[in-house]
């Protein structure tokens, strides 16, 4: 039998889950973080557009604050989003981990690659999204974009009271450390197994996959994929947007 008679392999389809159900207390009082605006547009809409900008992403699942699902629905309806992308909206949970799991539960069959992307990283460039997807397509079960650190990092014994001096326990070698970003990309079955198996509180999905003993690989991240966490990050995000507008104008 010649190769021509074999059916073509089914294309791998990619979905993105965007947890956006956090309150973002470190930003100060106000609306849930994902609904705060940057350049007049909610952070969540920037994040959704950033993922939908990849031609490989055909479904985006937005995980909304449980008491803000109707508001998020009207935001998604009110902003232009690519027509080739499907959207789903689900209410989130108490922790980021629970919100991601609720997003995974809503995924229809047929998506073999799943990206998980924080709404709090609204400015991730499409090239970073595509690089993560490419590495999963090439066979890595879990992929995280990451950057080398500028600061030296100390491990400390955390003080009981904030602001008290904290004894240093160790100084890991900076050249071996990476600060990880999102979107993190996964073989769907591996990510689902991680969420079924790991119950410890973790801050990223790749950490859960590591606990399964599965190898996670790092690809280069991007400085514009930073997480908007503190008030100064909003200033930086506005500056990045202003620079993009200026560049687009020429």
Stretch touching ligand C5P by CB under 6 A, among 113-121, 162-170, 208-216, 235-243:
113-121
User: Minimum CB separation from ligand C5P for residue 145, in Å?
Assistant: 15
In whole angstroms, give the CA distance from residue 126 to residue 148.
Answer: 20
Which run of H or of E encompasses 113? strand 113-116
One character per residue 138-177, x = contact with ligand C5P (rule: CB under 6 A) = ----------------------------------------
Q: Which positions from 120 through 139 interact with ligand C5P, judged by CB under 6 A?
A: 120
CB-nearer residue toward ligand C5P: 92 or 141 = 92
Residue 101 in 3-state DSSP?
helix
CB 109 within 8 A of CB 13: no
CB-nearer residue toward ligand C5P: 47 or 59 = 47
CB-nearer residue toward ligand C5P: 171 or 203 = 203
In whole angstroms, give the CA distance from residue 43 to residue 119.
Answer: 7
Q: Using CB atoms, what's the residue nearest to ligand C5P?
A: 22
Cis check: omega of the bond before 31, within 30 degrees of 0: no
Q: What are phi and psi of 155, to 5 degrees?
A: -90, 130
CB-nearer residue toward ligand C5P: 21 or 208 = 21
Residue 90 as a binder of ligand C5P (CB under 6 A): the answer is no
Residue 68 as a binder of ligand C5P (CB under 6 A): the answer is no
In whole angstroms, give the CA distance from residue 93 to residue 73.
Answer: 17
Q: Which positions from 27 through 46 interact with ligand C5P, judged by CB under 6 A?
A: 33-34
CB-nearer residue toward ligand C5P: 137 or 178 = 178
Residue 205 as a binder of ligand C5P (CB under 6 A): the answer is no
Residue 62 as a binder of ligand C5P (CB under 6 A): the answer is no
CB-nearer residue toward ligand C5P: 13 or 227 = 227
Q: Mind spelling out the 3-state secondary structure of 166-201?
A: CCEEECCCHHHCEEECCCEEEEHHHHHHHHHHCCCC
Q: Which positions from 208 through 227 interact with ligand C5P, judged by CB under 6 A?
A: 227
CB-nearer residue toward ligand C5P: 137 or 202 = 202
Give the number of C-alpha atoms closer than 13 A to the C-alpha of residue 86, restricted to the C-beta side: 10
What b/e readout covers 158-193, taking b as 16+ CB neighbours within 10 angstroms?
eeeeeeeeeeeeeeeeeeeeeebbbbbbbbbebbbb
Residues near ligand C5P (CB under 6 A) are 19-22, 33-34, 63, 92-96, 99, 118-120, 227, 229
């Amino acid at each position: 039998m010649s190769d021509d008679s074999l059916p073509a392999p089914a294309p791998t389809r990619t979905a993105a889950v965007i947890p956006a159900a956090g309150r973002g207390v470190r930003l100060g009082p106000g609306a849930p973080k994902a609904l705060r605006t940057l350049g007049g547009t909610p952070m969540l809409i920037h994040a959704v557009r950033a993922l939908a900008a990849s031609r490989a992403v055909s479904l985006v699942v937005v995980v909304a604050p449980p008491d803000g699902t109707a508001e998020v629905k009207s935001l998604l309806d009110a902003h232009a989003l690519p027509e080739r992308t499907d959207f789903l909206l689900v209410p989130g949970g108490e922790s980021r981990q629970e919100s991601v799991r609720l997003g995974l539960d809503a995924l229809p069959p047929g998506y073999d690659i799943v990206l998980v992307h924080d709404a709090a990283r609204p400015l991730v460039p499409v090239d970073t999204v595509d690089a993560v997807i490419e590495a999963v397509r090439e066979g890595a079960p879990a992929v995280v974009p990451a950057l080398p650190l500028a600061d030296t990092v100390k491990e400390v014994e955390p003080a009981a009271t904030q602001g008290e001096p904290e004894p240093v326990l160790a100084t890991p070698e900076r050249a071996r450390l990476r600060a990880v970003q999102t979107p993190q990309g996964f073989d769907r079955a591996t990510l689902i197994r991680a969420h079924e198996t790991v119950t410890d509180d973790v801050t990223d999905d790749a950490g859960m996959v590591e606990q399964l003993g599965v190898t996670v690989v790092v690809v280069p991240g991007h400085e514009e994929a930073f997480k908007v966490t503190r008030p100064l990050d909003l200033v930086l995000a506005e500056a990045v947007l202003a620079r993009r507008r200026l560049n687009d104008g020429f």
